[in-house]
């Protein structure tokens, strides 16, 4: 199916509003995405008709809620091509998923002197947990080499990789640069080295087909809210045997088999890792979101966003006084600075024109230092954004520059 944004936008009523007297152009999709009516209605319908706790009751509503929750797990499994439903764990989001892998798995396998390898483009959520694990285990945190335009230098990585490099934690797609990393190749290299690869998929799963089996990653983490689902729901995927070694980070109801006075035994996967009442409506929402994404088509979404990138990037790069960060091959994420104007001022001026962009360090302070900046402006697109919006965004840059005296004041 070819994407027709006019039809698609009818499903996203929030986009049809004026902000500061201008039609809203929402370009902050890397932060969170808007929700289609089908997701909103599905969540409301769950609460109106089926709401109950899961895996506990025998009554009809409890059964309906459990079926809805477990159906969602099957939908996620098929969406990311996991081989078993037990490999899909519901979490709060990418941050929690990554923390659980770091605390529950990596801390057990790492020894003093081992290396945890990360890239300079990691979001803090895929960095701070590894710093913590490094402190706790005596492992070292080492950074992959990165090219000037923000790509992983695979050849030099292969060259420097040694037996101490036990775990690579890397993003699939950068939230700042739009770089898409070669996960399968990196996984092969790590596995040849008898190491593991943990992937932060927060900015990839919403925008391209992802097949975790084909990527051969050991763990893969992502958030629902960046792919049309509500906030507070996310996924931890892990290969069964590895997930089975992961120590639960939350103990209590739901995750046990038997509880004695002084010790307990734990349930099998996936329940062992889902202690307490889970985010049931979130699971219902992520299923509805995936159903919507699949009705549009992930391949179609990826190629539509590539077209938007082809509209934006060549023009953005030629605007005088603008520095654009990241490679030519990228997702539809554009981070840039305008000489002499603070990114927060730029974002405020965009907002006055009805355009929502993000400014700041984007939770990637090491990357900012690598780029030699403190912060940047970021415009991030999704498949409901139109080429006309992309053009209007570009046309607004000179307006913003002029408003601030072209950065000369
Ligand atoms: N990035 C952004 O504006 P959570 O908050 O757990 O849903 O996702 C964290 C996260 C992890 N990895 C990457 C690559 C991300 O982009 C994010 C979230 C948002 O860029 C909010 S800082």
- Active site members: 363
Within 8 A by CB and 6+ apart from 50, the residues are 61, 64, 65, 68
Name the band, by pLDDT with cuts 50, 70 and 90, for residue 1: low
Work out the burial of residue 337: count CB atoms within 10 Å of its CB; fewer than 13 is exposed, 13-18 middle, 19 or more buried: buried
In this predicted structure, what is the pLDDT of residue 239?
98
pLDDT above 70 covers a percentage of the chain that reads 100
Average pLDDT, the chain: 97
Separation of CA 90 and ligand 1 centre (Å)? 17
Q: Over range 209-230, report the average pLDDT.
A: 99
- φ, ψ of residue 42 to 5 degrees: the values are -65, -45
Structure confidence at residue 408 as a pLDDT band (50, 70, 90): confident
Task: Give first-to-last CA distance, the chain, whole Å.
Answer: 49
Q: What is the DSSP letter of 277?
A: S
Which domains are seen in the chain, by residue range? 5-31+297-403 (3.90.1150.10), 40-294 (3.40.640.10)
The pLDDT of residue 172 is above 80? yes
Give pTM, 2 decimals: 0.98
Atom 3 in ligand 1: residue holding the nearest Cα:
31
Query: What confidence tier does 409 reach under pLDDT thresholds 50, 70, 90?
Result: low
Strand partners, 234: 91, 223
Q: What is the mean pLDDT of residues 265-278?
A: 98
Q: Where do we find the tokens 């640069």? A: 177
Longest dimension (CA), the chain: 72
Q: Cα–Cα distance between 83 and 213 in angstroms, integer?
A: 7
- Going by C-beta distance under 8 Å and a sequence separation of 6 or more, which residues neighbour residue 354? 18, 19, 20, 21, 22, 23, 24, 25
Rg (CA), the chain: 22
Looking at the DSSP bridge assignments, the partners of residue 266 are: 256
* Cα(218) to centroid(ligand 1), Å: 20
Name the residue of 28, 125, 361 to mutate for ligand 1: max ligand atoms within 8 A of Cβ.
125
Atom of ligand 1 nearest to the CA of 95: 6
CA 170/CA 157 separation, integer angstroms: 13
Q: Are 220 and 237 in contact (CB under 8 A)?
A: yes
Pick from 170, 202, 361 the residue to mutate for probing ligand 1's pocket: most ligand atoms within 8 Å of its CB: 202
Mean pLDDT score, 223-231: 99
Residue ID of nearest Cα to ligand 1 atom 2? 31
What does each C-alpha distance from 239 to 203, 233, 284, 402 come to in angstroms?
Answer: 21, 20, 24, 53
Ligand 1 center from residue 202 Cα (angstroms): 6
pLDDT digits 0-9 by tens, 149-164: 999 999 988 888 999 9
Choosing from 99, 121, 203, 360 the residue with most ligand 1 atoms within 8 A of its CB, the one to mutate for a pocket test is 203
State mean pLDDT over 14-24: 98
Confidence category of residue 98, pLDDT binned at 50, 70, 90: very high
pLDDT, tens only, 316-372 = 999 999 999 999 999 999 999 999 999 999 999 999 999 999 999 999 999 999 999
Query: pLDDT tier at 57 (50, 70, 90 boundaries)?
Result: confident
Q: Which residues of 359-387 are buried (b: 16+ CB within 10 A; e: fewer)?
A: bbbbbbebbbebbeeebbbbbbbbbbbbe
Pocket of ligand 1, beta carbon within 6 A: 30-31, 93-95, 123, 125-126, 171, 175, 200, 202-203, 223, 358, 362-363
């Amino acid at each position: 199916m070819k994407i027709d944004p006019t039809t698609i936008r009818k499903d996203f009523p929030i986009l049809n509003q004026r902000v500061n007297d201008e039609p809203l152009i929402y370009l902050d999709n890397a932060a969170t995405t808007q929700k289609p009516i089908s997701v909103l209605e599905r969540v409301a319908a769950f609460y109106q008709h089926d709401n109950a706790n899961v895996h506990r009751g025998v009554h009809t509503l409890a059964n309906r809620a459990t079926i809805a929750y477990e159906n969602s797990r099957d939908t996620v499994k098929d969406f990311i091509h996991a081989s078993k439903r037990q490999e899909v764990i519901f979490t709060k989001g990418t941050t929690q998923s990554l923390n659980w892998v770091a605390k529950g798995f990596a801390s057990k396998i790492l020894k003093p002197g081992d290396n945890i390898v990360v890239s300079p483009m990691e979001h803090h959520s895929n960095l701070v947990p590894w710093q913590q694990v490094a402190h706790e285990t005596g492992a070292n945190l080492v950074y992959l080499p990165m090219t000037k335009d923000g790509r992983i230098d695979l050849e030099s990585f292969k060259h420097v990789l040694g037996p101490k490099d036990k775990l690579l934690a890397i993003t699939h797609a950068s939230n700042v640069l739009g770089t898409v990393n070669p996960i399968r190749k990196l996984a092969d290299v790590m596995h040849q080295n008898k190491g593991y690869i943990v992937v932060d998929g927060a900015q990839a799963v919403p925008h391209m087909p992802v097949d975790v089996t084909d990527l051969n990653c050991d763990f893969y983490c992502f958030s629902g809210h960046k792919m049309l689902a509500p906030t507070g729901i996310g996924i931890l995927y892990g290969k069964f045997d590895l997930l089975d070694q992961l120590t639960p980070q939350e103990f209590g109801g739901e995750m046990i088999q038997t509880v004695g006075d002084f010790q307990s035994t734990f349930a099998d996967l996936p329940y062992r890792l889902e202690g307490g009442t889970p985010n049931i409506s979130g699971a219902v929402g992520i299923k509805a979101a995936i159903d919507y994404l699949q009705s549009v088509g992930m391949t179609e979404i990826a190629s539509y966003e590539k077209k938007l990138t082809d509209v934006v990037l060549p023009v953005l790069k030629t605007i005088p006084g603008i520095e654009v960060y990241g490679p030519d091959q990228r997702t539809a994420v554009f981070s840039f600075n305008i000489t002499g104007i603070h990114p927060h001022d730029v974002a405020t001026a965009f907002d006055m024109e009805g355009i929502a962009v993000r400014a700041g360090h984007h939770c990637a302070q090491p990357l900012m230092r690598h780029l030699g900046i403190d912060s940047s402006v970021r415009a991030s697109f999704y498949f409901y954004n139109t080429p006309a919006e992309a053009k209007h965004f570009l046309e607004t840059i000179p307006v913003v520059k002029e408003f601030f005296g072209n950065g000369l004041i």
